[in-house]
A and B are shown apart, each in its own frame.
Chain A
Amino acid sequence: MSDEPADADGERRLVDAVLAGDAPAIDRWYRREHPSVWRLCLGFLADGAEAEDVAQDAMLKLHDRLDRWDRARPYAAWRNALVLNLCRDRLRRRAARERVEMEAPLPRELPDPARAAERGEVREMLQRALASLSPREREAFVLRELEGHATSEVALVLEVGESTVRSLLTLARRRLRELLGERLLGSSANDGGERG
């Protein structure tokens, strides 16, 4: 993330350079954007393999449509909206498969994200937890709770009111509490001191 432009002007300059076909700028822009785009795809799709695929597609589309970015809007909101639409398209095509995957039960104890050795399991659990949410809940949850965007910005991207975003967040958190809460409270009660 060292290539992250410090401000909106930096963002615009980088985009201008990309639009001008400046090869190093394109490379820098791509490397800077890809992790964010991939994370969003993973969050919206709750599927690692598909996230990689859609992220590549999204990067090409972003590059292709960069000249349509309205400079009056925040860049991140524009980018997130484009990624979101691509993910929604993908979701429509695989709705049935997702239902089948969710039938497998979660383990009694969740892996600890702080332990590097458990990263693979953590990611899998994360995907499954996200998959338990409805697509709309997931979109709001990922953008607001995980990516940390302001509620107003999330509302802009999802094209809904801020109150709707809050409702979606409440529903998402409730669902996650049902899925993970008891396991986490149980495990922290059992070995909380060990993890300190």
Chain B
Amino acid sequence: MEASVVEREDPLDALREAWRALDAPDPTADRDAVADPAERAALEWMRAAWGTLEAPPVRVPVLRRRRVRRSLALVPLAAAAGIAAALWLARSDEHASQPAESEPAPVAETLQPEVPATALAALERAEGGFELRHGSVRLIFVEPEPSAAESGDAR
């Protein structure tokens, strides 16, 4: 009670009160900062004109991004398939060009490491699998082992 009396008598009270009553301008309120009538008129005209803008008719194009991405993802697979097909054809040609009267070589003996690096080669391997070679690249195809279930060993 006593303190409030002292406070009221403080000569700076009025100043403090006025200070607290000050309305701080909103720092984000750029629109309100325009005091000049000509500037305000220009701004209002611009806003009004902006509000009348009508966008041209929308033409939604066919957006194919997803499809394009899928097709791009398939490129390596397609390339691999192409190479495999080429190697396969080369292997077939090699077999076709062999003389009919020649003795078929044993599977294990057809491995020919002296094939030139740039040539396509299809080389048989034992056990039903085979190997395709192009330069330093070797693709080895192996027949899968029959599983226990397939071979009838399952319970």
Near A by CB (< 8 A), chain B positions 38-86 give 38-39, 41-43, 45-56, 58-61, 63, 65-66
CA–CA, A122 to B50, complex, Å? 9
Is the CB–CB distance between B52 and A113 below 8 Å?
A: yes
Is the CB–CB distance between B39 and A126 below 8 Å?
A: no
> Main SS of chain A's interface residues?
helix
CA–CA, A104 to B59, complex, Å? 33
Closest to A124 in B: B49
CA–CA, A17 to B31, complex, Å? 37
Given contact pairs A30-B58, A35-B55, A169-B30, A146 touches B50 in the complex (Cβ within 8 A): yes
Task: Report if B104 contacts A (CB, 8 A).
Answer: no
Is the CB–CB distance between A144 and B42 below 8 Å?
A: no
Task: Report if A151 contacts B (CB, 8 A).
Answer: yes
Given contact pairs A114-B48, A126-B49, A184-B38, A176 touches B60 in the complex (Cβ within 8 A): no
CA–CA, A59 to B42, complex, Å? 31
Q: Count of B residues near A, CB < 8 Å?
A: 31
CA–CA, A166 to B31, complex, Å? 11
CA–CA, A188 to B48, complex, Å? 15
Closest to B61 in A: A60
Task: Report if A52 contacts B (CB, 8 A).
Answer: yes
Most chain B CB atoms below 10 A, which of A64, A123, A180: A180
Contacts of A39 in B (CB 8 A): 50, 53, 55
Task: Report if B28 contacts A (CB, 8 A).
Answer: yes
Closest to B60 in A: A30
Q: Count of A residues near B, CB < 8 Å?
A: 45
Contacts of B47 in A (CB 8 A): 145-146
Near B by CB (< 8 A), chain A positions 44-66 give 52, 56, 59-60, 63-64
Task: Report if A21 contacts B (CB, 8 A).
Answer: yes
Task: Report if B119 contacts A (CB, 8 A).
Answer: no
Is the CB–CB distance between B65 and A113 below 8 Å?
A: no
Is the CB–CB distance between B52 and A52 below 8 Å?
A: no
Residues of A within 8 A of B (CB): 21, 26-27, 30-31, 34-35, 38-39, 42-43, 52, 56, 59-60, 63-64, 110, 113-114, 119, 122-123, 125-126, 129, 144-146, 150-152, 166, 169, 173-174, 176-177, 179-182, 184-185, 188
Residues of B within 8 A of A (CB): 27-28, 30-31, 34, 36-39, 41-43, 45-56, 58-61, 63, 65-66
Q: Can you give 12 contacting A-B residue pairs, CB < 8 Å?
A: A38-B56, A39-B55, A42-B53, A52-B56, A123-B52, A126-B50, A145-B30, A145-B46, A174-B39, A176-B46, A179-B42, A180-B41
